[in-house]
Every structure is written in C-alpha cells, then in structure tokens.
Amino acid sequence: MKKCLLIFIIFVVSCSSQNQSPFYFYDDSLGEIPELFFEYGSKDSSLSLPDSKEVFHYENGIFCVYSLPISLYKLELGAKFRICSKLDEESSNRWKTGFSLLKNLKSEYPTFLESGKGWNLSFKTFAKWKEKRREMVPVLEWKEQVFSTGLVTYQSFAIPHPIFLQKSNTECEVVYRSYSLSVSENQTPTIVFEFPCPNVEKILDLVLSQNQSWISSCEIDSPNISEIFRHSESDYVRYLEWENTKDKVICPYAETLEREKEGVTITFQSEDFRKRSRVMLPHGILLLSDHPKFQGINISKQFLSQLGTQETIRFGESILYDNSFDFKQGGEYFAKQWRTTSCRDQKNLWESEESFCGNPGIPNYLEQNAETNPIPQCNPSQIRLTEFYPGNESVPNFPLPAYFEFRNEGTSCDLSSLNWILNGDVYPFSAKEEILKQNGIFLFTRELWLGWNLLERKKPFYIPKQVFQIPPFSIQNRKTEESFSFQFDPNRYHLLRKGNQNRFSIVVQEKEFPHPRITSDSKLLSFGFQLSPGVHESNQIQLIGSSLLEFAQNPNPFLDFGFFEGEEGIGSFQSSEKKDYFYWKQSGRKMETFGYEPNQCNGENIYHLPSGFFGESFKSLLYTDKDTSNNHLTVWNDSLLKEKSYDGSRSLHPEITPILFSSSMVSSIPCPGLWRSPGSEKTASLEIVKLKDQAGYLANSALGNLGSIFFGNQRQKLAISVIPLFSLQFNLDVTNVLFGHPEEQMYSYFTHPNLIKPVGFLEKKGPIQIEAIYPNPFLSQNEWVYVCNRSGNTEDLSLYLIEDETSTDDLVSYQSRFPNEIPIGKNGKGFITNDTVLPPSSCAWIVDPDGKDWYLPIFHSESDRLITVVTTQTIGNGISSGEFLQLRKKSNGVSILISSFGHKESPSNFHKTVSTGEYIWLKTNAEGTTPDDFEVYREEN
C-alpha cells in the first residue's frame, strides 16, 4: 500500500503544478500518523510553497516538516525528505511553536512535548540527545550524507540534513538541529521526531539506483572555488567551498587537495572526502571545514590556516590562486566569495549574532525573495568620493583616523551590494543591509570616530603616514562585477602634512583641493585641523598668488613663499616635471616654508614635500605671482645653482632677469657653515650683471657710497666711478682712463661689503682670441690651442707669447723648428706651416713640438697656420685640464694681455675641466667669460 501511495503522490504533484494549486494533495491514507516522504534525483517543483526560511508549513489541514528550509528544499536535487501529518489548527500551532524553538538562542529552554499514536515530538539540547543516543545501537543511521551501511547520498547544497535513525524495524527517529552558530554544539536546540518507519529498503534502493545513474553519465571535471573564510574569533571559524558551476553532473577525479605556500606543499585526503566528492550535482556545493556544525567534509585546521594569504590550492584541474583578504573588517566578518550578490539579498542558512556576509554550503548567487526589499541595491556609479583624509593616528594627542568619505548621488539604496577595492584589496561595504539615503554620507575609516554619530565602517586599509594624493580605487557591484574606477590626476599633489601632523583633508568637487577653513568642523579647526568627516558642503575655492622668496636644493632643501598677510586660500606651484602642488595659506601669515621634514635647519612648522622633489629634475618653479596675478616661471641650471649657492652652502633668492639669483647673507645659527633664513627675514647678496642688449650694468640693490670700482688688468688698474642711468641701472665712467696699449684686454673690478666675493667683467678684448683647447688628448703630446684673429688687422703670432699657470713660451712657425716635416692632422688634412702672420678671420693651431697626427675637429681648415713653441715650458710641457691659459703680445718691451682662457686676471675667473679625449670649443657669439660659454666635445675615433 505504501509503495502505491508514493507513486500516486509523485503523479498528483506533477499534475497539480499545471493548475497552480496552492498546495499538494494526498490520498485519504494520510492520517494523523506522520509519514516520511523521501526524494532523490528530482526537484520538487510542483510544491507551490512560499519562499520561506522555515522548515515547516501548514495548509489545508496538512502539516509538513522538511529536511531543509522550504526555499532550499524546492531547489534541492539530491537527498531530501519531508514528514507530513494531518493536524487540526490548534495542534499545528503547537507544532509551529515547537519547531520555532530551534531559533531560540536563550540559555534556558522551555519544554516542548507532543505525542500521538506511534509518534512523539520533543525538544532538548543536542547534548541530551547524544547522551540518550549512546544507549542504543540503531539498525540504520543516516548522517552527514552517509548511511551506516556506507551508502552515500549527494546533495546540491552542502548543508546538514537531519539525522535519521532506524531504531527498530518499525520505529524511526529524525533529529532536527538549530542552524544557529552562536551556541555550542552541545547546547544546540534540537527537536527529536519519533514516528513509524517508512519502507527503508525502498529508500536505499532509490539512492543506490540514482547514484549509479549519475556516476555512469557524469562528466569528469573539477569544481570551481566559490567561497573561503578563516577567522578564529568568528562563529563561522574556517571553511573552504567549491562549486560545480555547470548544468550537468560532474565527477571530480582528484582524491586529494593540495595546498602550496612558499614552496611547501601540504596534501589532504580522507575516506570521507573520497566518498562525498565523487559526484557533484549541477550547481552543487562541496564544503570542507573543521567546524562540526557545518557537517561538511572534515578537514584539518592546518590545511585551512592560511586562507586569505598568498597561496595556491589545487582540486584536480581547478586551482585557487589565493591572495590577501581581511575576513574581519571592523566589527564585521566577510567571506571571500566568487559569483556572488549583495550581502543583504544573499540567501543564507546559518544564524549568528555577529554581522557576517557569506553563505557556506549554498551557491553565492542565490537571493532571498526580492519583494521583501523595496530599497534597491546601490550601483557603483551613484557613489561619489567627497573627502579623503590620510589620518593622524601616529600622533598621541590627536590620533584622528584616516577616512574616505562618500556621498550617494542617486536614490536611496542598500550599500551591501558593493565592494570597495583599494590597492588590490577587497572591502565589502557592509555585511548587512545599510540604507544610504539620497545625498547621504558614508565613511570608510581606519578606526571608528567614536562619539561622532557617523554612518561609517571600520576597514583595515593601509595609508602611509604621509601621502600627497588620493589613492586610486574602484567600487564594484558584487553581483555583476561591474566596476566604477576612481582615478585622480597623477600630476596633482596636495600638501596635507604640516609640522608632524596631517592637518588637512582633500575635498573632491570638480577637482581636488586641500580642505578650506570655512567649511571645516569647528571643533577640529580649533586644534588646527581642516576637515569635516560626515559633512559635505560645496566649497568656494579661493586661489591665491605667491612669491618665491628663497630656496635651497642641498643640503636640507627648502622653499620659502611669501604672501599678502591678510589673504587666505589655496596656493600652488608647479615643478619642472609639470606636477602641481596645492596647499592652504592661512590668513595672518606672510610666509610658508616647504621641505621634506621638520629639522633644525628648516624649522618645525613646515609643509612636507614628496621625497625626491629636490632631485636632479628640480630645475624650475611656476607659480601665480601675488602682485601681477600672472604666471611666473623661475628657471635655473646646475652650473648656475652651483655658482650662486657656492657649492650648496648658501640658499638662493630669485631676482629679476638678467640677474636671476642672489645668495643668502644670513648665517644659519642652528646649522653652522650654511647661510639661509627659512621662515624668517631675508638678506640677499649684492648682485651686479653687465647688460648684453644695451649699455650699462644692473644691480639688485643700490651700491651707495660703499665699495670701489677699478678698470684695467693685473698690469695696471685705475679707480673709476659710475654714471647712474635709472633705477638700479648704471654705467662706468671711463672718460679719464688712458693706457698706452689700445690692443690690451681690460676688465672692470667691483668690491662691496654686500658682495660675497669681488665681481669683474671683460670690458675690452685683444685682437687674437683663444677659441678652443684640447688639454687631455688620448695621446698626451697631441694637445693643442686654437686661436683666431677677430680684429680687422693682420697679426703676427711671432710677437706673441703663450702662458699657463707656471711658464711662458714664445710662438714660432712649425717649419722653423721642423724644416723637414710635412705634418698632417688625423683626418689627413694639412696646414700652412711656414707662416706666423694671421690675416683677419684666419686661425692657427698652437701644438706641442712632440705631437703629430693631431685630432682636428670639423672647423679645421688647410689654410690654418700650424704654430708651436720655442721651448717646452708651456704647451710642450703639457696643459692640465682646467688650467688658466693666457695669450700675450710683446709691445715696447712689455707683454700685454690679449686673450685668456679662464680669465685669470679677472675677479670672476673660472676653471673648466674636461675628461681625457674631450676638447673645449667657444660657443658662437659668446665672450668666454663663464664656463657655460664653452661646449665640450669628444674626439671621434
């Protein structure tokens, strides 16, 4: 009779779904004695039941208890059952009350006991049931998917089914346990249902037959990773979950799991794993855990101990390349999931008092009934960043937490549908429903802002102590994996750290700026912090101008900018790398200092600049001039910086063109040996330049009656005066200067208390000029000096002398010393060797008498004269790199200065050194009075 009844039920259920019957029908044999209906291998889609989390349902006088929550029972393809009985409404209410006790988390439990003919329902703890269980030896037991005979049942969902016991041939027992994780296993609420046994042999036959069918037709394949979790403080403890993502049955052929970390491999295998993983139903789940309540495949704690770190786990051909993940984020716990949905809408089974987002044993994409959630899920595109603060947590007095502040620019929505991805790390927004209203504000914080009543979530994100930009991140839809990226201008820097504290946040409107004062939180502002956590107001950004007052590149580099004292707003400057730096200028301050970190040389209350700002690329600054509101560009090069800073000992003050820079005259008290004045009054050196495009000279300050000016050279000097022109421009009065040699090279000489060292200028050149020198050829005897006649008259070089720093030699034609030689250059070209007379615009090579086959640059001509020295005291004795060279002319018994390399007799002399194989060539239209007037070239082999 029971065999016919089972067949009849399946038929009626199949038909009733066509007419959308509110419930299923049984024949008249279903009475008040409960009956068990076992199903295996088919989804019971004909049951028109609500999408309920309950395991019981009462309708039309029929009360059924299901082996799974009803919403999952309808989807389960594997082993499942229901126990049904006819009940009146009063009895059904008592049964509902009894089974509702499975959700009771109180430490004391009420009594529940119902009984009838051949059946009994009772409530107890799991420990009490186990104690009674030890007193008997059942005929058959089914738990954790395995019958005591060894026969395995397979399930779509890796969730525990009730324990089934056949206590005798006629008496059976089913043990329902609570899905609560907040109580221990022994204290777990339990309902024990004793009733007459069904035809157990038929059940076993059905399982065996269906297993054979699945195994014979399954596809050999490996499942995909679907969820992992590990945290000892959580009720969920540890688990590893795999999913068959296909619409067909698969048979994983791997009998082991492998975990590899840092070159060490750990293998897991067990008989339970071999049995229960042999078949995976379509979209079925395989759960491995050491948590006894999950009743998954038991696996060692050691194997799961590194989940959420860099490791590899293999299941057949399926590989999990795991990486860093924080399972605990603030007071919430999150599983790492694949193919998932929002935390709020995700269908789940287990209950806990903690905030947890995950659903071990159930496919992640399954959702609860959407009709119960009138507030939609948030989309990434409707969330906007409004403020970022890097935190001040390292400062004991003001340990303000870092935060990212967001605003909802769409309609009200649930944030638990989103992931926040920063530096590759995933942070779900919320483990439970969190409604963010339109224009509402939400924060991610490193630590909670206690007492501020903010809508916030604590997240373990990493932010360095000092940052200058908002780090890029993305917001991801957990369900669709659609991402909205937040990228910020990589060339836009914000100077947030002043002194040793991060005093400013970055507000985000159309662009990002340091937080203005006017919209800052008043309490924080009173302590010097400009930020507004949890409040976002539109800011009117006031951009202000500045003036570069002083800077030093090394050592202890810094910048000083000056301002109008009563003005406040956002200042900025741009480096030579086209990077913009923004900062807040407070009203009442006339000057701000910028450097790497506070120190005794630069002071304490300075703005921090990024590491490397003052590196080799630091060659210019562009800023808005406070006086003109125009862009002002200050540019320099290494040689100018080295010259004006006196090898880094003095800071520089920008000056008008063509002066460019002056040097600090303030001796640093905290840093002896340096001259600088960061953050304080400036005193600049006197600088004088000779104007090129017009007659006269220009100074950066008035000369006054101090100092003196001379005209001449080391042979003779005469004191002269100046003729004021206008402002700081003047000329020299040389009307009474008379020397007996009009060809002689002359200089001006300036001395003054505000000059760091005397200054001089080339005032008059001689007819012959030194234009190139090769002091260090690969063959030392092949050095040369190249001279040209730049006058309008013919000059005879036999009347000339060449002089280095120690000796002087007369010049003669090459042939006069070597009459039988026909010298040529390395390029095969020759010279005029028997003549010392240079017509206008012609040139000559003065060479070492021991040289030959000279390397000659492209400006060599065969009409050039080849000249050598009478002895070997100067060029014949070797020219040192950087050595002064002077060309003199014999006139009326004296030698007068005609040309000079390095301008030994000028107060502004210099040395120009080169490496072996390099030669120096005067630039076109240059006077040769500075090292920069010469190009350095290398011999071409």
**CATH 2.60.40 location in the chain:** 766-938
Q: Supply the pLDDT for residue 371.
A: 62
Q: Are strands 591-595 and 492-494 parallel, antiparallel or unpaired?
A: unpaired
> By percentage, how much of the chain surpasses pLDDT 70?
95
Average pLDDT, stretch 573-585?
97
Contact present, 40 and 206 (Cβ < 8 Å): yes
Which is more confident, 30 or 457? 457
Q: Supply the pLDDT for residue 15.
A: 32
Most confident of 4-13, 21-30, 378-387, 877-886: 378-387
Q: Out of 70-74, 160-164, 570-574, 750-754, which region has the weakest mean confidence (pLDDT)? A: 70-74
Distance, CA of 879 to chain centre = 55
Average pLDDT, stretch 871-883?
68
**In this model, does residue 877 exceed pLDDT 60?**
no
Contact present, 531 and 521 (Cβ < 8 Å): yes
- Within a 10 A sphere around the Cβ of 250, how many other Cβ atoms? 21
Q: Supply the pLDDT for residue 796.
A: 97
Confidence band of 13 (pLDDT split at 50, 70, 90): very low
Average pLDDT, stretch 501-514?
96
Cα separation of 388 and 397, whole Å? Answer: 21
Q: pLDDT of 414-449, one tens digit each?
A: 999 999 999 999 999 999 999 999 999 999 999 999
| DSSP string over 692-732 | SSSSSEEESS--TT-SEEEEEETTEEEEEEEEEEETTEEEE
Q: Supply the pLDDT for residue 47.
A: 61
Q: Supply the pLDDT for residue 488.
A: 97
Contact present, 727 and 761 (Cβ < 8 Å): no
Average pLDDT, stretch 248-263?
95
CATH class of the structural domain 766-938:
mainly beta
Read off the pTM. Answer: 0.83
Q: Across all residues in the chain, what is the average pLDDT?
A: 92
Average pLDDT, stretch 192-200?
97
Cα separation of 652 and 554, whole Å? Answer: 11
Average pLDDT, stretch 635-664?
94
Task: Tell me how many degrees the CA angle 203-205-211 measures, rounded to the nearest 5.
Answer: 105
Contact present, 480 and 340 (Cβ < 8 Å): no
